[in-house]
Structure 1
Amino acid sequence: MKVVVLGAGVIGVTSAWYLARAGHEVTVIDRQDGPALETSFANAGEVSPGYASPWAAPGIPMKAMKWLFMRHAPLIIQPRADWATISWMARMLSNCTSAAYAVNKSRMVRLAEYSRNCLIALRADTGISYDERTKGTLQLFRTEKQVEAAAKDIKVLKADGVPFEVLDAVGCIAAEPGLATSRDKIAGGLRLPGDETGDCFKFTNALMELAKAAGVTFRWKVGIQALEAEAGRVVGVRTDAGRVTADAFVLALGSYSPALARPLGMSLPVYPVKGYSITVPITDASKAPESTVMDETYKVAITRLGDRIRAGGMAEIAGFDLTLREKRRETLVHSVEDLFGGAGDQTKATFWTGLRPMTPDGTPIVGRSSLSNLFLNTGHGTLGWTMAAGSGRLLADLMSGRAAEIEHADLGYARYLRAPLRSQTGRQPVAA
Structure 2
Amino acid sequence: MGCCKAEEKRRIFARFDLSQLRGRICFGRENLHGIIASPVRGAQKMKIIVLGAGVIGVTTAWFLAQEGHDVTVIERAQEPARETSYANGGQISVCHAEPWANPKAPWKTLQWLGEEDAPLLFRLKLDWNQWRWGLRFLQQCTKAKAKSNLQNLVRLGLYSRDTLQSVRAQTGVRYDQRTEGILHYYTEQAEYEAAIPAAALMREVGLDRQVKTAAECLMIEPALAQSRRPIVGGTYTPSDESGDARQFTNELADRCAAMGVQFRYDCAIEALERIGDDVKTVRVRSAENDVERLNADQIVVCLGSYSPLYLQPLGITLDIYPAKGYSATIPVVDPEFAPTVSLTDDGYKLVFSRLGDRLRVAGTAEFNGYNLDLNEIRCKALIERTSQIFPQGMDYTRAEFWTGLRPATPGNLPYIGQTRYASLWLNTGHGTLGWTECCGSAKAITDLISHRKPEVDYPFVVGV
TM category, shorter? over 0.9
Equivalent AA in structure 1 for residue 358 of structure 2:
R
Measure how far apart 1:148 and its partner are.
Answer: 1.4
Equivalent AA in structure 1 for residue 260 of structure 2:
G
Measure how far apart 1:323 and its partner are.
Answer: 0.8
Q: 1:353 aligns with which of 391, 403, 411?
A: 403
Matched, 1:208 2:253: yes
Matched, 1:245 2:295: yes
**Which moved further from structure 2: 327-336 or 368-377?**
327-336
Contact 1:272 1:320 in 2 (8 A): yes
Equivalent AA in structure 2 for residue 102 of structure 1:
K
**Alignment match, 1:46:** 91
Matched, 1:116 2:161: yes
- 2:116 and 2:137 map into 1 onto residues whose CA distance is 24
Contact 2:199 2:211 in 1 (8 A): no
In the superposition, relative to structure 1, how do residues 413 and 186 fare at CA in structure 2: closer, same or farther (>3 Å)?
farther
Measure how far apart 1:32 and its partner are.
Answer: 0.5
TM-score of the two chains, using structure 1 as the length reference: 0.94
Q: Deviations over 1:80-124 (max 9, x none)?
A: 121010000111111111111100111011111100000000010
Matched, 1:327 2:377: yes
- 1:226 and 1:368 map into 2 onto residues whose CA distance is 18
Pairing 1:148-167 to 2, within 5 Å after superposition: 148-167=193-212
- 1:71 and 1:80 map into 2 onto residues whose CA distance is 16
Equivalent AA in structure 1 for residue 71 of structure 2:
V
Contact 2:74 2:264 in 1 (8 A): yes
Q: 1:344 aligns with which of 394, 417, 428?
A: 394
In the superposition, relative to structure 1, how do residues 115 and 127 fare at CA in structure 2: closer, same or farther (>3 Å)?
same
**Alignment match, 2:460:** 411
**Alignment match, 1:423:** none
Pairing 1:73-222 to 2, within 5 Å after superposition: 73-182=118-227, 185-222=230-267
Secondary structure of 2:211's counterpart equals strand
Measure how far apart 1:68 and its partner are.
Answer: 2.9
Measure how far apart 1:69 and its partner are.
Answer: 6.1
- 2:81 and 2:284 map into 1 onto residues whose CA distance is 20
Contact 1:272 1:356 in 2 (8 A): yes
**Alignment match, 1:282:** 332
Matched, 1:364 2:409: no
Aligned CA-pair RMSD: 1.3
Contact 1:163 1:194 in 2 (8 A): yes
Contact 2:220 2:341 in 1 (8 A): no
Contact 2:101 2:146 in 1 (8 A): yes
In the superposition, relative to structure 1, how do residues 64 and 26 fare at CA in structure 2: closer, same or farther (>3 Å)?
same
**Alignment match, 1:430:** none
Contact 1:363 1:411 in 2 (8 A): no
Q: Deviations over 1:336-395 (max 9, x none)?
A: 111111121011110100000011110100111111111100000000000011111111
Contact 1:72 1:298 in 2 (8 A): no
Q: Deviations over 1:34-61 (max 9, x none)?
A: 0000000000000011222211112111
Contact 1:173 1:183 in 2 (8 A): no
Q: 1:380 aligns with which of 413, 425, 430?
A: 430
Structure 1: runs of 5+ lacking an equivalent: 418-432
**Alignment match, 2:276:** 231
Percent sequence identity over matched residues?
44
In the superposition, relative to structure 1, how do residues 396 and 17 fare at CA in structure 2: closer, same or farther (>3 Å)?
same
Contact 1:142 1:185 in 2 (8 A): yes
**Alignment match, 1:7:** 52
- 2:117 and 2:201 map into 1 onto residues whose CA distance is 29
Measure how far apart 1:202 and its partner are.
Answer: 0.3
Contact 2:80 2:250 in 1 (8 A): yes
In the superposition, relative to structure 1, how do residues 71 and 79 fare at CA in structure 2: closer, same or farther (>3 Å)?
closer
Contact 1:295 1:335 in 2 (8 A): no
- Number of residues paired by the alignment? 414
Secondary structure of 1:185's counterpart equals coil
Q: 2:353 aligns with which of 303, 313, 318?
A: 303
- 1:183 and 1:239 map into 2 onto residues whose CA distance is 53
Moved over 6 A (4+): none
- 1:164 and 1:23 map into 2 onto residues whose CA distance is 38
**Alignment match, 1:265:** 315
Matched, 1:26 2:71: yes
- 1:68 and 1:231 map into 2 onto residues whose CA distance is 47
**Which moved further from structure 2: 134-143 or 223-232?**
223-232
